[in-house]
């Protein structure tokens, strides 16, 4: 096995570990229809995944006032929570995380989810035990600002050159670049492959099994 290059692996949640892109898109579209603002396309709704919920809604509906933004946020939560029990982790996600832990990596999460939402899915999935630390957009700056990564590295005493971010959006990869860390991209999530490639991650993967193999050989 190659000498390990990284000590900390930080994962995005939605679209990276959990297969939630379709539900997020549908919930954004339903919220917009309910509140009476223009309903975005699938591509436009998917593009804001990974941002904080308020930032996502302001991107989807630029120029709306604060009251309308809060109505969008509230409507989104109702639609999302009505079906979030249907969500599942991507194939191989648990095996990959457990394998990384067994190899001695520290694992963390940096997500656009709110703390309440992340706590709920960590409990439901049973994955909370695998992560040393987590950061959410409602307690830090939204991606692509580097704050969540910088805070995680500081908390776990890991240098940027020993940290790598795993995500499915350009927001994740830009956050990594701004924080001075390496990144890896998952191609089955919210953003198209060409957009991910433009951010020059170390590698792109179409499955968790491929990610796991990469770490065994290169990580």
Active-site positions read 12, 14
* For the chain, counts of helices (H) and of strands (E): 10, 6
> Which residues lie closer than 8 Å to 218 by C-beta, 6 or more apart?
2, 5, 202, 203
Residue 17 three-state SS: coil
Beta strands 106-111; 204-205: pairing state: unpaired
DSSP secondary structure string, 146-207?
SHHHHHHHHHHT--GGGEEEEESSHHHHHHHHHHT-EEEEETTSSS-HHHHHHT--S-EESS
DSSP state of 128: G
């Amino acid at each position: 096995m190659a000498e390990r290059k990284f000590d900390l692996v930080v994962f995005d949640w939605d679209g990276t570990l959990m297969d939630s892109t379709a539900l997020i898109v549908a919930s954004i579209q339903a919220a917009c229809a309910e509140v009476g603002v223009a309903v975005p396309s699938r591509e436009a709704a998917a593009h804001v995944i990974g941002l904080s919920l308020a930032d996502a809604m302001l991107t989807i509906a630029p120029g709306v006032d604060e009251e309308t933004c809060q109505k969008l946020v509230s409507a989104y939560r109702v639609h999302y929570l009505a079906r979030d029990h249907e969500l599942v982790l991507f194939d191989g996600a648990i095996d990959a995380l457990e394998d990384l832990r067994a190899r001695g990596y520290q694992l963390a999460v940096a997500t656009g989810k709110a703390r309440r939402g992340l706590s709920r899915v960590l409990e439901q999935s049973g994955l909370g035990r695998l992560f040393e630390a987590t950061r959410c957009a409602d307690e830090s700056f939204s991606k692509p600002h580097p704050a969540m990564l910088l805070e995680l590295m500081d908390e776990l005493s890991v240098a940027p050159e020993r940290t790598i971010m795993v995500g499915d959006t350009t927001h994740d990869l830009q956050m990594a670049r701004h924080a001075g860390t390496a990144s890896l991209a998952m191609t089955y999530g919210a953003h198209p492959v060409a957009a991910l490639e433009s951010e020059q991650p170390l590698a792109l993967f179409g499955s968790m099994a491929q990610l796991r193999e990469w770490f065994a050989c290169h990580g």
